Structure 1
């Protein structure tokens, strides 16, 4: 089978593969059980994030700037899981490792735009918590619906722009050495390393992506909580500090679930077996979308009360029908 289509240039030969081969999870015993686990995480993610979105839509009291971000996070998690997990299961569980050239970059585009938005949504929530705790009297002036819609829209535009740049850089490469991607998806870093021409621009942009998607959001979130802690230590009693930080538990849990596994994998990459790295990275992609809605339903007072209210209304309507 011919796997490359070549377009001749005046000075060199540009090689564009017809397809790439995704080779992750190879050589791991009993890996099919892991695929079942990924499928279960996907089901939890779809049901949980759909539930959160429906609750926010149905309960008018949740249509606040904060829950605009929560809704967007649930949508991003649902969109990201739907773009990633079914394709991963199709590739490995049903043995379809060949992915067409254009499909691979489409896969990469949706994965990275969702990854970017997951981090940026956490930034928006940290800003919301900082203003709510430190400037409670000015919260409704500083954090309005218009402000939050504008912020979320700018985040989507930013995520779209950097992802388009990333994909466009990859399409400029010539792939004449190998078409085997040693990952569980069309990974930006793994793809540009297959190029046989100058990879410097893609390498630089890969480092820039890490800073923009992971580094700066995490630094901003850490700064906001340090600022919150410092401000509360000056003016609040111990009881007031505990009460204030209780409102941040759900958000801090989301931050820990999203960032810590990625930091661990990034720190231990040098001494980690390739298969262990692939499994850990796949878990960091599948776990947050499935756990985020559970955390918000269980740890957020407003959503718990909304769920109780909706069930109460449904129960009362059933009783009324019987009567």
Structure 2
């Protein structure tokens, strides 16, 4: 017990060491690529937010949800990218104890809210397709904001479990196996049997991933049903709108399914493969989402074109 307590004091004073990139070839090149992707993602999402908030014509439920998704994307990518860039480019691998736990919270909150944001946008499309004449009376701006607020509170509640579980744990090691401070890597440094803590992670992850993905799938079943009853013009319009959302769904859920689901079924991933999938699941949605909605949403695209014309 003495050695464990000493280890706890040492870790809490000196922090953790990020060891996930120790075997990476050309770390500076990888770091610069992540840096460029991160800057582009943040700037693109900020442009989306500014366009929507500054134009009253875009103060509609769909655009408020796009704005919320942009906020989530900035949180999600900002929770980890600066740490990875610092480790790869500057070679600074140490992360203080408290900021490391904050990173765990921010990263998981970003991941949970990404699922919630995508799911509620699927519901928005279902409502627009099934009730086109009553859509704006059912889903008002006020109701959209209230729904978004509730989802953020639910996300906070789920994610708070992780730092609460991590805070009292003693630590035998200070080196984190993965690319940044996440729940799994910190559990592996603790002087406890990790199975109980990994089971909690698996249950929460399965619950969130399964139910949000099933909700999205059911929404699209409803959309397909109502599209069959529509005219050819309306069908083309609906397909165009839903294709945008499907791109967002694919970018997020594919890496998440591989890492969180298939690995629990016995699929073994190398450290490099796991890091690549995790980094992809963080950067891909944040990078793709703003451009998808800028290029495929008529009002936002026209707003950007007009800005360039004026300048």
TM over 0.5: yes
Between 264-273 and 21-30, the greater mean CA deviation after superposition: 264-273
2:166 equivalent in structure 1? 170
Q: Which runs of 5+ in 1 are unaligned?
A: 8-12, 316-323
Distance 1:164 1:264 in 2: 24
RMSD: 2.2
Match of 2:113 in 1: 117
Q: Is the CA contact (8 Å cut-off) linking 1:170 and 1:202 kept in structure 2?
A: no
- Specify whether residues 198 and 277 from structure 1 end up closer, same or farther in structure 2 by C-alpha distance, changes over 3 A only: closer
The residue aligned with 2:276 is 279
Q: Does 1:152 align with 2:148?
A: yes
| Alignment check: 8 A CA contact 1:166 1:205 kept | no
Q: Structure 2 residue aligned with 1:305, among 296, 302, 305?
A: 302
Corresponding position: 1:6 with 2:5: yes
- The partner residue of 2:74 within 66, 71, 78 is 78
Distance in 1 (CA, whole Å) between partners of 2:79 and 2:185 is 19
Structure showing greater radius of gyration is 1
Partner of 1:296, secondary structure, is helix
Q: Residue 259 of structure 1 is aligned with which of 253, 258, 261?
A: 253
- Cα distance, 1:196–1:132 mapped onto 2, change above 3 Å: same
Encode CA deviations 1:166-222: one digit per residue, 9 max, x unaligned.
11011122222x222111111112222332235455223201331244222111111
Distance 2:190 2:4 in 1: 15
* Secondary structure in 1 matching 2:292: helix
* Structure 2 CA distance for aligned equivalents of residues 174 and 130 of structure 1: 48
After superposition, residues 1-323 of structure 1 pair within 5 angstroms as 6=5, 17-18=11-12, 19-176=15-172, 178-199=173-194, 201-233=196-228, 235-266=229-260, 269=263, 270-312=267-309, 314-315=310-311
Q: C-alpha separation between the residues in 2 aligned to 1:117 and 1:224?
A: 18
Contact 2:294 2:300 in 1 (8 A): yes
- Distance verdict in 2 for CA 1:92–1:5, change over 3 Å: farther
| Structure 1 residues 59 and 309: CA distance shift in structure 2, 3 A | farther
Distance in 1, Cα, partners of 2:22 & 2:249: 31
- Summarize the Cα distance change of 1:259–1:96 in structure 2 as closer, same or farther, 3 Å threshold: same
Please, which runs of 5 or more residues in structure 2 have no aligned partner? none
Which stretch of structure 1 is more off in the superposition, 72-81 or 147-156?
72-81
Q: Secondary structure of 1:6's match?
A: helix
Q: CA deviation at 1:56?
A: 0.6
TM, length-normalised to structure 2: 0.90
Does the 8 A contact of 1:105 with 1:186 survive in 2? yes
* Distance in 2 between residues matched to 1:34 and 1:162, nearest whole Å: 32
| Corresponding residue SS for 2:289 | helix
